[in-house]
Amino acid sequence: MTTKLKGKVYGVLGIQSVMANWNADFSGYPKTTSTGDVFGSDKALKYPIKQQWLHQGEKVLYVKSYKLDVKKDESTFRPKSLKERYEEIFDVADLKKEKQQDKILRNLFQAVDVKNFGATFAEEGANLSITGAVQIGQGFNIYEDTTTEAQQILSPFRSENAKQKKNNEEANSSTLGTKIVSSEAHYMYPFVINPFVYNEYESFGVTEGYTEADYAKFKEAALVAATAHNSNSKLGCENELAIFIHTNDHTYLPDLAQFISFTKGFDGEKNVLTLGFGSLIEEIAEKISSIEVFYNPYTTSIKGELKGVTYYNIFTSKEV
């Protein structure tokens, strides 16, 4: 028997990036606002979470996948369309022939990313939109001394285009590339989980609602996704903080990430993350059932008085 998640969950997911590029813009530089503030989009955090679910064998709909098109003597890899991805993971012969939208919705809710983050499903005959139970905001870097480093990389190969160049020395040289990283950054993502957004869909019989099991899958993946996703640009990015505050049905909390500050530790001292929302939590203590804080105790100390909090090692999940 499935058990629905009781109450809402508010929290923060913190990502540390050291000589890495957590979220680049189209120029390759760390993403910034018009005023120069470094931030990471919600998509940058959702991507490794989805990859973690994929590795665990879950159904994930909104992720890039490829197919091989073979025509006579030619073959081409190309990304699958949303229709093709849907047909693949739900074993559907032709989405266009599906006339029962409740069946499509029932399938969509079987995908772990849709169940958590929602979906915009715009296909012929099935223009559907689901607001996800899990909403993640933009993750702003809270380390003031972040700098951007551009590294020149020498390729072992000469570009074929170099043959057209008049400068013989340049034509006979290997190509150069650039790797762009942040010296150090600490991104804080606010999030909220509202299980009640699926109440209407429950009445249609297309989902059992957002359950304790759904929350457990999100929590498990969110705690390790950045650390586990070791691509070239992401090696150096780690989960460093995760806060989960369980409230009752009618409690509303603001963006908690705005109350967190970072102090750099030098000469062997630990970094300090100060949680500045203790007084706010104390005022509504009767509306909170539990507070969990996961962090990296090897490099970081937590400051800020939170009553009733339990601290955990973010890598081992053991109580600190």
Q: What integer is the mean pLDDT of 149-178?
A: 67
Cα separation of the two ends of the chain: 33
For 77-124, how does the pLDDT look when each residue is reduced to its tens digit (9 = 90+)?
899 999 999 999 999 999 999 989 999 999 999 999 999 999 999 998
Q: Is residue 232 part of a domain?
A: yes
Q: Is residue 176 part of a domain?
A: yes
Q: What integer is the mean pLDDT of 118-146?
A: 95
For 234-268, how does the pLDDT look when each residue is reduced to its tens digit (9 = 90+)?
889 999 999 999 998 788 999 999 999 999 999 88
Q: Is residue 220 part of a domain?
A: yes
* Residue 171 belongs to domain spanning: 9-58+132-313
Q: Is residue 139 part of a domain?
A: yes
Q: Work out the angle between the directed axes of helices 42-55 and 212-228 (0-180°, nearest 10).
A: 100
Q: Is residue 290 part of a domain?
A: yes
> Given this model, what pLDDT does residue 200 score?
96
Q: Is residue 80 part of a domain?
A: no
Give the total number of structural domains in the chain. 1
Mean predicted lDDT score pLDDT of the chain: 92
For 291-307, how does the pLDDT look when each residue is reduced to its tens digit (9 = 90+)?
999 999 999 999 997 88
